[in-house]
Chains A and B, each alone.
Chain A
Amino acid sequence: MSADQPTLFAAIGIGKSYPGVRANDDVNFAIKRGEIHALLGENGAGKSTLVKMIYGLVKPDQGHMEWLGAPFAPADPARARAAGVGMVFQHFSLFEALNVAENVALGMENPPPLAQLAAKISKVSADYGLPLDPARRVGDLSAGERQRVEIIRCLLQSPKLLIMDEPTSVLTPQEVEILFKTLRQLAAEGAAILYISHKLEEIRALCDRATILRRGKVVATATPAKTTAREMAELMVGSALASPARAGKAQDFAAGAPALEVRGLSARSPIQFGTSLKDISFAVAKGEVLGIAGVAGNGQDELILALSGEMACGPEMIRAKGEAIGAMGPNARRARGFVVAPEDRLGHAAAPDMSLVENAFLTGAVQRKLARRGFVDWAGAKAFADEIIAAFDVRTPSSGVAARALSGGNLQKFVIGRELRQSPDVIVINQPTWGVDAAAAAFIRQAILTCAEGGAAVVVISQDLDELMEISDNFAALNEGRLTKPRPRAGLSMEEIGLMMGGAHGMEVAHG
Chain B
Amino acid sequence: MIRLERRASASQFWIWATPVVAVALTMVFGGLMFLALGKNPVDVIRTIFWDPLFGEFAWYLRGQLLVKAGPLILIAIGLSLGFRAGIWNIGAEGQYIIGAIVGAAVGLAFYPTENRWIFPVMVIAGAFGGWAWAMIPALLKTRLNTNEILVSLMLVYVAQVILAMASTGFLRNPEGSGFPGSRNFSSYPAAGNPELIAGSGLHWGGVMAIVVAIAAYVLLQRHILGFQIKLAGQAPRAARFHGVVPQRLIVLCMGISGTLAGLAGLLEVTGPAGQITIDFNVGYGFTAIIVAFLGRLNPLGIVLAGLIMALTYIGGEMAATNLGLPSAAVQAFQGMLLFFLLGVDVLTNYRIKLGGGA
| Interface residues, chain A, with chain B CB atoms under 8 Å away | 19-20, 59, 61, 308-310, 329-331, 340, 342, 344, 347-354, 358, 361-363, 365, 371, 374-376, 378, 401-402, 404-405
Distance, CA A353 to CA B10, complexed state (A): 9
Show 20 residue pairs from A and B whose CB-CB distance is below 8 angstroms, ordered by the A residue: A19-B5, A20-B8, A59-B357, A59-B358, A340-B241, A344-B237, A347-B235, A349-B238, A351-B234, A351-B238, A353-B235, A354-B234, A358-B231, A361-B227, A362-B242, A365-B242, A374-B225, A376-B223, A376-B227, A402-B9
The answer to whether A352 and B222 touch (CB under 8 A), given A330-B241, A361-B227, is no
Question: Do the beta carbons of B227 and A310 come within 8 Å of each other?
Answer: no
B9: chain A residues within 8 A (beta carbon): 401-402, 404-405
Check if A374 sits within 8 Å of B224, measured CB to CB: yes
Whether the Cβ atoms of A363 and B241 lie closer than 8 Å is yes
Q: Which residues of chain B have a CB within 8 Å of any CB of chain A?
A: 5, 8-10, 222-225, 227, 230-231, 234-235, 237-243, 245, 357-358
- Docked-complex contact B245 and A19, CB < 8 angstroms: no
Whether the pair B243, A330 counts as a contact (CB closer than 8 A) is yes
How many angstroms from the CA of A196 to the CA of B262 in the assembled complex? 60
CB distance from A483 to the nearest CB of B (A): 22
- Residues of chain A contacted by B358 (CB below 8 angstroms): 59, 61
Contact status B8-A350, CB under 8 Å: no
Contact A350 B238 (CB under 8 A): yes
Q: How far is the CA of A365 from the CA of B244 in the complex (A)?
A: 13
Residues of B within 8 A of A352 (CB): 234-235
When chains A and B are docked, how far (Å) is the Cα of A405 from the Cα of B8? Answer: 6
Known A-B contacts A376-B227, A402-B9; A347 and B238 likewise in contact (beta carbons under 8 Å): yes
Q: Are the C-beta atoms of B224 and A329 separated by less than 8 Å?
A: no
How many angstroms between the C-alpha atoms of A347 and B242 in the bound complex?
11
Q: Please report the C-alpha to C-alpha distance between residue A280 and residue B255 in the assembled complex, in whole angstroms.
A: 40
- Write out the residue numbers on chain B whose beta carbons fall within 8 Å of the beta carbon of A20: 8
The complex places the Cα of A375 from the Cα of B223 at a distance, in Å, of 4
Q: Give the contacting residue for A348; candidates B5, B225, B234, B237; CB below 8 A.
A: B237
User: Beyond the given A351-B238, A365-B224, A376-B227, could you list 12 further A-B residue pairs with CB under 8 A, ordered by the A residue number?
Assistant: A59-B358, A61-B358, A310-B240, A351-B231, A353-B10, A354-B231, A354-B234, A358-B227, A362-B231, A371-B224, A374-B223, A374-B224
Residues in B with CB closer than 8 Å to A344 are 237
List the A residue with the shortest CB-CB distance to B242: A362
State the CA gap A19–B352 with chains docked (Å).
13
Closest Cβ of chain B: how far from A80's Cβ, in Å?
16
User: In the complex, what distance in Å separates the CA atom of A106 from the CA atom of B294?
Assistant: 44
Structural contact, A310 and B224, CB atoms closer than 8 A: no
Name which of A59, A61, A351 has the most chain B CB atoms within 10 A of its CB.
A351
Given contacts A59-B358, A354-B231, contact A362 B238 (CB under 8 A): yes
Give the residue name and chain of the A residue nearest to B9 (CB).
Answer: A402
Q: How far is the CA of A340 from the CA of B242 in the complex (A)?
A: 11
Residue of B nearest to A58 (CB): B358
Q: Given the complex of chains A and B, what is the CA–CA distance between A361 and B8 in angstroms?
A: 22
